[in-house]
Chains A and B, each alone.
Chain A
């Protein structure tokens, strides 16, 4: 059983009279422990694909099986549960809660997962240690650098032991050196914890950290190959 399987997934947005086909008949499988980079220009459908994989959006037609269960037909709250337990998000703009300490940001998914206070604290500490942020637990996002904020976001994605991390342009706002540090964390998480990482990027040197590159153009997959063969 594959971790992620899409069968003929399409997404159509109606803008008045015009239908915009963001995704056309995408069928893909991603297995447990893979490190996939999704590339393409803006408007190629890669973000729409990510949103569907992440349970933030539903396909117009087609099936999306996550660990064998069809997610496309689930309701709002069931999708929220899936996002909570199965998927960790890392965004380009970090998307941390302002005026909220690092540790509390990391605790957030566990709060909605109904985990007891003491365990929340412990696991959040551990996750921050994993991304190398011990000692910064009480810092607010404003007091942290971009790289540190992205580490907090990664810790937040990790903390519920989700099998999948979806990273949407995670290095887009960072300088080269910090980008490399962040990518090293992803590589380490993929190797040591067997977490499936799906990365959306348009930079090929970032994509080079992955093991498989899928390219989108105009809503369709145009290539899907392991890194290093092309």
Chain B
């Protein structure tokens, strides 16, 4: 009995009659949907970026820093006391069951030279495990061998930025560069990794065997000293137990009494980043929720205009009833008008939202991602707004008495 395409045509015709009014009503929905999509795009872009940075950093990461010392009652900051050693790293690898790999780091900045070009960068003395801890594959060449580490061999692995600055397009493998005037042979090149969560260029780095860094580049006060130890736990669930095991082990190795403070700091990087990601998710939801308020305001606009429309067209309703329109014929007609308004507004709003996100990412350089889900969600939501706010006017229209409606002037 109910003829959808025809009802649709009637609805479109009715909306065309009052073009200005229809477009203003739609504008509410357009802005609402556009705002929802843009806000979700900004939020999703931000969380996505953080997630990307987390995975670029390496997963399930724990960092151990040499601890604060107390000197004459004054507590110094973390890292002021060189307490971590290569031995600690080896012990963690050996004795902590929740740990998958351990890489000690002794780093410093150094001027590196190749031919006529030079570049200042961070030189990290470490072990082969570093690449595993950081989930960082080689683009070319090889990693360190255990002989390299044992012999403090003068070999190095270069990050992409260093390669670009020293070699340009030439192949660096097998070439010799000078780090602090000492010759190191390039054995490997790392894949591009991009920015760290704190905005540093992670590719601006050189890895050398930790022993070479200790003995030849950054001579240390204590034998075997390292600046930090990076640890990868076996899984996300193992992170906390790994933290506990490391703390217990290091306290024991460093002969720290029950009442004394640790002389090292264990940081769960992954957990910190996940917290950041979590909060950006919450932010996304919050932005979306605020934007959807404007969608509801748009819906109220539809309801308002539909009520006016029902009053204006009382006589038309009377005519339709006189020739046999049933309750639902009338109801559906007005409902369809409201839904048409909100859906056309929804489609235009989606286009506005996508454009808005593009503009934002170009002008403000925010990463934005318009997800398919947010489009589907916004479209369905605008349809629901139409049904919800269109129902009362349609209901009102359908309950008019045919005689009163026909006599309405």
Q: Which A residues fall within an 8 A CB radius of B? A: 51, 54, 56-57, 76-77, 80-81, 83-85, 89, 91, 95-100, 108-109, 111-114, 156, 160
Q: Please report the total number of B residues contacting A with Cβ < 8 Å.
A: 22
What are 30 A-B pairs with beta-carbon distances under 8 A?
Answer: A54-B322, A56-B403, A57-B403, A77-B327, A80-B321, A80-B324, A80-B325, A80-B326, A80-B327, A81-B324, A83-B321, A83-B322, A83-B323, A84-B323, A95-B315, A95-B318, A95-B319, A95-B322, A96-B319, A97-B319, A99-B17, A100-B13, A108-B320, A111-B3, A112-B323, A112-B325, A112-B326, A114-B3, A156-B323, A160-B324
Q: How many inter-chain residue pairs (CB < 8 Å) link A and B?
A: 62
- Binary per-residue interface labels of chain B (292-327) against chain A in the complex, 1 for a CB within 8 Å, 0 otherwise: 000000000000000000000001101111111111
- Measured in the bound complex, the distance between the Cα atoms of B320 and A95 in whole Å is 10
Q: Do A108 and B323 have beta carbons less than 8 Å apart?
A: yes
Q: Do A84 and B324 have beta carbons less than 8 Å apart?
A: yes
Q: Do B326 and A81 have beta carbons less than 8 Å apart?
A: yes
Q: Do A95 and B406 have beta carbons less than 8 Å apart?
A: yes
CB distance from A128 to the nearest CB of B (A): 16
CB distance from B201 to the nearest CB of A (A): 66
- Measured in the bound complex, the distance between the Cα atoms of B403 and A97 in whole Å is 16
8 closest residue pairs by CB, A with B: A84-B324, A112-B324, A109-B323, A77-B326, A80-B326, A56-B402, A114-B1, A95-B319
Chain B residues near A95 (CB-CB < 8 A): 315, 318-319, 322, 406
CB distance from B333 to the nearest CB of A (A): 11
Question: Residue B329 at the A interface, CB < 8 A?
Answer: yes
Chain A residues near B401 (CB-CB < 8 A): 57
Chain A residues near B319 (CB-CB < 8 A): 95-97, 108
- Measured in the bound complex, the distance between the Cα atoms of B316 and A80 in whole Å is 15
CB distance from B350 to the nearest CB of A (A): 31
Task: Scan residues 334-374 of chain B and give those whose CB is less than 8 A from a CB of chain A.
Answer: none
Chain A residues near B315 (CB-CB < 8 A): 95
- Measured in the bound complex, the distance between the Cα atoms of B213 and A180 in whole Å is 115
Select from chain B the residue with minimum beta-carbon distance to A168.
B406
Interface centre among A51, A100, A111 (most CB of B within 10 A): A111
- Binary per-residue interface labels of chain B (381-409) against chain A in the complex, 1 for a CB within 8 Å, 0 otherwise: 00000000000000000000111001000
Given A95-B319, A99-B13, A114-B1, decide whether A109 and B324 contact each other with a Cβ distance below 8 A: yes
- Measured in the bound complex, the distance between the Cα atoms of B321 and A83 in whole Å is 8
Chain A residues near B322 (CB-CB < 8 A): 54, 56, 83, 89, 95
The 8 Å CB contact of A89, one of B13, B323, B325, is B323
Select from chain A the residue with minimum beta-carbon distance to B329.
A112
Select from chain B the residue with minimum beta-carbon distance to A156.
B323
Select from chain A the residue with minimum beta-carbon distance to B402.
A56
- Binary per-residue interface labels of chain B (1-26) against chain A in the complex, 1 for a CB within 8 Å, 0 otherwise: 10100100000010001000000000
14 further A-B contacts with Cβ under 8 Å, apart from A83-B321, A100-B13, A111-B3, are: A77-B327, A80-B324, A80-B327, A91-B406, A95-B318, A95-B319, A95-B406, A97-B320, A99-B13, A112-B324, A112-B326, A112-B329, A114-B3, A160-B324
Chain A residues near B406 (CB-CB < 8 A): 56, 91, 95
Chain A residues near B320 (CB-CB < 8 A): 97, 108, 112
- Binary per-residue interface labels of chain B (36-47) against chain A in the complex, 1 for a CB within 8 Å, 0 otherwise: 000000000000
Select from chain A the residue with minimum beta-carbon distance to B409.
A93
Chain A residues near B316 (CB-CB < 8 A): 97-98
Chain B residues near A109 (CB-CB < 8 A): 323-324
Select from chain B the residue with minimum beta-carbon distance to A57.
B403
Select from chain A the residue with minimum beta-carbon distance to B406.
A95
Chain B residues near A98 (CB-CB < 8 A): 316
Chain A residues near B329 (CB-CB < 8 A): 112
Interface centre among B3, B17, B318, B406 (most CB of A within 10 A): B406
- Measured in the bound complex, the distance between the Cα atoms of B329 and A84 in whole Å is 13
Chain A residues near B324 (CB-CB < 8 A): 80-81, 83-85, 109, 112-113, 160
Task: Scan residues 260-294 of chain B and give those whose CB is less than 8 A from a CB of chain A.
Answer: none
Q: Do A111 and B13 have beta carbons less than 8 Å apart?
A: no
- Measured in the bound complex, the distance between the Cα atoms of B313 and A97 in whole Å is 10
- Measured in the bound complex, the distance between the Cα atoms of B1 and A114 in whole Å is 5
Interface centre among B1, B324, B401 (most CB of A within 10 A): B324
CB distance from A58 to the nearest CB of B (A): 10
CB distance from B281 to the nearest CB of A (A): 50
Chain B residues near A89 (CB-CB < 8 A): 322-323
- Measured in the bound complex, the distance between the Cα atoms of B406 and A97 in whole Å is 12
- Measured in the bound complex, the distance between the Cα atoms of B320 and A113 in whole Å is 12
CB distance from A16 to the nearest CB of B (A): 18
Select from chain A the residue with minimum beta-carbon distance to B319.
A95
Chain A residues near B1 (CB-CB < 8 A): 112, 114
CB distance from B165 to the nearest CB of A (A): 73
- Measured in the bound complex, the distance between the Cα atoms of B17 and A112 in whole Å is 23
Chain B residues near A160 (CB-CB < 8 A): 324
Select from chain B the residue with minimum beta-carbon distance to A89.
B322
Select from chain A the residue with minimum beta-carbon distance to B316.
A97
